[in-house]
Structure 1
Amino acid sequence: MSLETNNTTVKPALKKTISIDDYKEESPDRKLIDMINHIHSVQSFENLLDLTSDWKLKDHQIDSIKYNGLTTYERLMSLVLLPSNAESRNEYAYIIKNQLERNNQHLQSILNTSPGTTINEKIIFGNPTPCSKVFLFDIDNCLYSKKLNIHMLMQIFIRKYFQYILKLDSYDVAKKLNEKYYKQYGLAIKGLINEHPDLKIDPIEYNSFVDDALPLHEIIKPDLELRETLLKIRKSGKFEKMWLFTNAYKSHALRCIVLLGIADLFDGLTFCDYEMVKELSCKPDPSCYLKMSKQVGLIGNTLEEKLQNCYFIDDSLRNLEMGVNLNMKNCILIDQDVTEPYLIEANEKGKTINVVGSFSDLETVFSDLF
């Protein structure tokens, strides 16, 4: 399409396009990564505070309010510095128990106090009514920004759990094992279960010690701009359902959308069901997309037919590549470091993945949805 202006043809600016092999995911805050990766070598809590004295709590959205004499940041660092012995493992379990209580108290205090903190009952009870058009939303680093560094906090909790359950001598060993299992299995818990069957690891306990123990209410705040964009999509009538599609367990997913103030805007949730240990599947495994299609109630004889009218936004290129391969209509990569939307050429010929920096960019890239 071109525009005629004073007998001059003006062509719309072409969106930048890159090869999928050229896409380089931006690393999270380098200073934060370096700090976490070297915490295990710090000999005392006092030295740790000196080492990181220039690390600004507010820059990372972690408050400086003291609880039992410690800020959130100090509590996290104390957790990492616990040595690996029987006494410390008991202390670790006690710390997690207290954090879970604080998290739950806060959640209960805000539930149902506004539309955005009221969970749509369809999410709780399921909503498999037949449909053909759905917008799928990832949660972590997608509905909330990766710049909150929640992923890095997750790594602290995951590695500490590795130390705890496997009785590892150091945080560094736990870190390397975590990275290995993530690359091999896509989820740390899958690696723990598959590689250590003798321990009979309880994935629900794992979730409690990791995702559920995160002090999310001190980091995630209601996002009115996000809510406005989601409401516009919902009111457009272009989709029969707006659906959450996450690799997290349901408790973490629900807590995130309540804290963001968008819990009433979704029609369902497909999550990684930690209770189904032997059938644990996650994105980008095709079986996870099949499970989602059944839970959504998508119409079609094949998975490709079911997904042909789906829009899917995620922060993981791997997950979106699978969406492209399975014939999704539009796959959208959200990367908060992006200042101008562009396209990635998918490996499947003729197909692309849109890259946006925020949900507000969707109004520009997909103006027909608003």
Structure 2
Amino acid sequence: MTIAPKRTASLPQIDEQSVLIFDLDNTLYPAACNLFAQVSDLIGQYVRDALSLEPDAAYRVQKDYFHRYGTTLRGLMTEHDIDPADYLAKVHDIDVSVVDPAPDLAGALDDLPGRKLIFTNASRGHAERVMDRLGIANRFDTIFDIVDADYIPKPERQPYDRLLARDGIDPVRAVYFEDMAKNLLPAKDMGMTTVWVHTDVEWAQAGRDDPRIDHQTDDLVGFLRGLSSRP
């Protein structure tokens, strides 16, 4: 069921100077396919192996680091000096076939002018595999991943600053789509238009009522088509 759109700001006019920035997981594909559950399970396995913990203790560490540091990876790097490349390779070794190809999304992206970027707390390799599966890889100009962010995750301010500087983005011309509501807040503070891609995932709800969220939708394709149909 499509939720009523929340609008606290006017919809932007999308033109050749616009930049559309998209989170990846649970944003460009439906959370219902449960792809990220595979990643979560592999993170748990990594914590168990790296710290020699029993499953219950590893799970507590995994969630504690996620909430305190933004990602389990950041917690493991900070407190245990683990190799981030090894971590990212292992926790993203997943089966992406549970994600359905998305020709409607590809078409909606085609109909919108301007640059299109991926901004993710995951790895570039993971993003590329998911985008290939969706059939949208060639719709995007570039990817900004957790390595580009120096392993500092959203919603810390630094990765947003790095993204804008690296790709020469004027935040006033940017629209940012994200399933984790709190990750939209720094983007709005910088001048972007923000769109919360609503899911029922519990940990994505924090910040959902913040007035810095301009729009919300649980139908990304429909929202994009609405942008492209504006006069």
TM-score normalised over the length of structure 1: 0.54
Q: Structure with the greater relative contact order (CA < 8 A, sep ≥ 6): 1 or 2? A: 2
What's the CA shift for 1:272?
0.6
In structure 2, the partner of 1:50 is none
8 A contact 1:17–1:345 mirrored in 2? no
In structure 2, the partner of 1:76 is none
In structure 2, the partner of 1:362 is 223
Distance of aligned partners of 1:334 and 1:188 in 2 relative to their CA distance in 1, 3 Å threshold = same
What's the CA shift for 1:346?
3.4
Secondary structure of 2:63's partner? helix
User: 1:363 and 1:204 mapped to 2: Cα distance?
Assistant: 34
1:161 equivalent in alignment to 2:53 = no
In structure 1, the partner of 2:141 is 267
* AA of the residue aligned to 1:223: A
The within-5 A match list for 1:88-99 is: none
1:332 equivalent in alignment to 2:195 = yes
In structure 2, the partner of 1:116 is none
8 A contact 1:346–1:353 mirrored in 2? no
In structure 2, the partner of 1:214 is 94
User: % of aligned pairs identical?
Assistant: 24
CA RMSD of aligned residues (A): 2.4
User: 1:230 and 1:285 mapped to 2: Cα distance?
Assistant: 28
In structure 1, the partner of 2:210 is 346
User: 2:156 and 2:66 mapped to 1: Cα distance?
Assistant: 14
User: 1:356 and 1:18 mapped to 2: Cα distance?
Assistant: 10
Task: State the Cα deviation string for residues 198-254 of structure 1 (Å, max 9, x = none).
Answer: xxx11111111101x1111x3123111111111111xxx3x2x11111111111011
Distance of aligned partners of 1:163 and 1:369 in 2 relative to their CA distance in 1, 3 Å threshold = farther
| 1:176 counterpart (60, 73, 77) | 60
Uncovered stretches (5+) of structure 2, i.e. residues with no partner: 9-15, 201-207
8 A contact 1:136–1:312 mirrored in 2? yes
8 A contact 1:270–1:295 mirrored in 2? no
8 A contact 2:217–2:223 mirrored in 1? yes
User: 2:226 and 2:185 mapped to 1: Cα distance?
Assistant: 19
8 A contact 1:134–1:309 mirrored in 2? yes
In structure 2, the partner of 1:103 is none
The within-5 A match list for 1:5-24 is: none
Distance of aligned partners of 1:281 and 1:132 in 2 relative to their CA distance in 1, 3 Å threshold = farther
Query: Deviation above 6 Å: which 4+ runs of structure 1?
Result: none
Aligned residues: 214
User: 1:219 and 1:317 mapped to 2: Cα distance?
Assistant: 24
The within-5 A match list for 1:232-311 is: 232-233=111-112, 237=113, 239=114, 241-273=115-147, 279-298=150-169, 306-311=170-175
What's the CA shift for 1:362?
0.9
User: 2:75 and 2:184 mapped to 1: Cα distance?
Assistant: 23
In structure 2, the partner of 1:139 is 24
In structure 2, the partner of 1:230 is 109
